[in-house]
Amino acid sequence: MIGCNLSGKKVNLRPLMDDDLPRRVQWMNDAETVRLYSGIYPIRVYLLADAERWRQALEVDRWAIVWAFETKEGRHIGDLDLHGIDRKELTAKLTVLLGDKEYWSQGYGT
């Protein structure tokens, strides 16, 4: 499912768009970013088709919500998704990919 627009002090969350996927590909091909995001080193090249499959899977999953997050100036710096949503237990898993290294260690992913 695609998330709605949300706004915070430092970032805006907005629906993930097709134009965002090439940035995700770039981030997912950076070994340091992938290691911090997933806990493992990348074992193969991440392709645009991989990003499209990831997004499509989350879009049709009624127990998941995906957003792009961007600075207040409108720069897309990462992706965020809630998945494994359990409406009965009121739990979910949150995954944050702060891919743009220029914004690391500045409170954008917390």
Separation CA 85–CA 91 (nearest Å): 6
Burial tier of 61 (Cβ tally within 10 Å: 0-12, 13-18, 19+): middle
Q: Which of 59, 95, 75, 72 is nearest to 19 (CA)?
A: 75
Q: Is the pLDDT of residue 57 over 60?
A: yes
Q: Which two tokens stand for residue 67?
A: 């957003």
Q: Which two tokens stand for residue 26?
A: 């770039």
Burial tier of 2 (Cβ tally within 10 Å: 0-12, 13-18, 19+): middle
What does the angle CA 61 – CA 63 – CA 58 come to, to the nearest 5 degrees? 35
The share of the chain scoring above pLDDT 70, in percent, equals 97
Domain 6-103: top CATH class: alpha beta
What are the C-alpha distances in Å from 49 to residues 36, 42, 53? Answer: 22, 16, 6
Domains in the chain: boundaries: 6-103
Q: Convert the pLDDT of each residue in 81-108 to its tens digit.
A: 888 888 899 999 998 999 999 999 998 8
> What integer pLDDT is reported at residue 7 of this predicted model?
86
For residues 21 and 82, the model is more confident at 21
> What integer pLDDT is reported at residue 3 of this predicted model?
63
Q: Is the pLDDT of residue 38 over 80?
A: yes
Least confident residue range of 4-8, 65-69, 84-88, 101-105? 4-8
> What integer pLDDT is reported at residue 69 of this predicted model?
92
